[in-house]
Amino acid sequence: MPSLMRSSSSAPSASAVPSAFGSVASQAAAINAFRSRLRSPSPASSIAETEDDLDLLSAAAMLPPVSPAQTGAHHAHGHSACDSCSALETEFAAAVLFVETYNGPHRILTQENSTPKKDFYAFYQQATVGPCPNAAPPPGLTKIETSKWEKWRNLGQMTRHEAMKRYTTALDNLVDDWRRSANSKRRSTSMFERLPRIYDELGELQDRVEEETKKREELEVHLLNFTREYRAMVAREMEQVDQMRGHLTSLVKTLEDDVTSHHNELQRVSQRQLEMLPLVEGSVFLAFETRSRQVYQILQGWIRNKTFRRVIVCLVLFRLWNFIRSRRMPQFVAQLLIRWLAAMSSLDAPNSISAASSGQQPPQR
């Protein structure tokens, strides 16, 4: 619906001095717009549009009072006519506010394509703007808007007060107790008194929204940086994992090759051993070598025995003595041999041998 501020200046039958209807109806329209802004999901746009509504309410509240000259002109029509007009305008404003803010069980008042809703639009336009100024509908209207415009044009030259009466009468036919549920002037005034506080609250809400938006932007930047760093770290870790996987794969392959080669080598050695086993068992040289080794081990065991060694030494010395006796030798060689044999036959064989070699006498017991 168009603004009531414009209707007060363009209606053909409106008085030059704004009446109580102008103020109340303007406040009602602004309050309705203000409620729709509060229900809007965008806080920033709602606050900006609410400021326009507050300016509209302030302008309606600051309408100039009636001057004495204008009052005298109105007194010429009589006090009764003025009272009835004021009551009609107040009742009309209450009806408009009720229809615009209605959310009750009568769905016909909330459907834009219903006939009563179109009639209310036509009566409202006739009471606020006046007769329809255009002979043809404006371009770009929808089907419902065109139907509303035709309703308004069909009212012809109906007066402003007649349109108000028919508006309230149509509402009486639909809702019986609508006057009981709405006191337009008191509600509009109380809402107007609450608007500064609501405006302050909306300002605080806007500040909070800006702060939350700033915090959200900072958090988004921090989260973006963290995500970028985390992705880089994950990429580095994945690269290292790929390198380790390549190294492990090559190492496992090398180990598998080594195991395979060792297994093949072991099989060849086993096969060679099986082939050599008959040759080893039938070889005379290996049998002689084995027997010689056994004899050597037996002799080594005997030599380790001190008594046996002494017997062997004595036999060797005795054999040597016989050989020397059968042969003539120099005197000093015979003496050395005698001393050496005497030292060897004693219990301290090592000391005697060393003393005999140096030409000293063995120690006496």
Q: Which two structure tokens, joined as six digits, stand for 113?
A: 């394509």
Q: What's residue 333's pLDDT?
A: 74
**Domain spans of the chain?**
4-209, 286-358
122 contacts: CB under 8 Å, gap ≥ 6 = 148, 151, 152, 154, 155
348 SS3 class: coil
Q: What's residue 68's pLDDT?
A: 43
Question: 4-209 in CATH: which number?
Answer: 1.20.80.10
**Per-residue buried b or exposed e for 80-91, using 16+ beta carbons within 10 Å of the residue's own CB:** eeeeebeebbbb
Given a contact cutoff of 8 angstroms between Cβ atoms, the answer to whether 59 and 5 are in contact is yes
Comparing C-alpha atoms, which of 26, 348, 356, 347 is closest to residue 185?
Answer: 26
**Region of residue 140 (left: phi > 0; alpha: psi -120 to 50; beta: else):** left
**238 vs 256: CA distance, rounded Å:** 26
- Tens digit of each residue's pLDDT, the chain (365 residues): 433 333 333 333 333 333 444 444 454 555 555 555 544 444 444 444 444 554 444 444 444 444 444 444 444 445 555 667 778 888 888 888 888 887 777 777 778 888 888 888 989 998 888 888 877 788 888 888 888 888 888 888 899 999 899 998 888 888 877 777 655 445 555 556 666 777 788 888 889 999 999 999 999 999 999 999 999 999 999 999 999 999 999 999 999 999 999 999 999 999 988 888 887 777 788 788 888 889 989 888 888 888 888 888 888 888 877 877 776 666 777 788 788 878 877 745 555 445 545 555 545 44
**Which residue is listed with tokens 């005795």?**
318
Q: What's residue 85's pLDDT?
A: 74
**DSSP line for 78-140:** -HHHHHHHHHHHHHHHHHHHHHHT--SS-GGGT-TTSHHHHHHHHHHHHHHT-S---SSPPTT
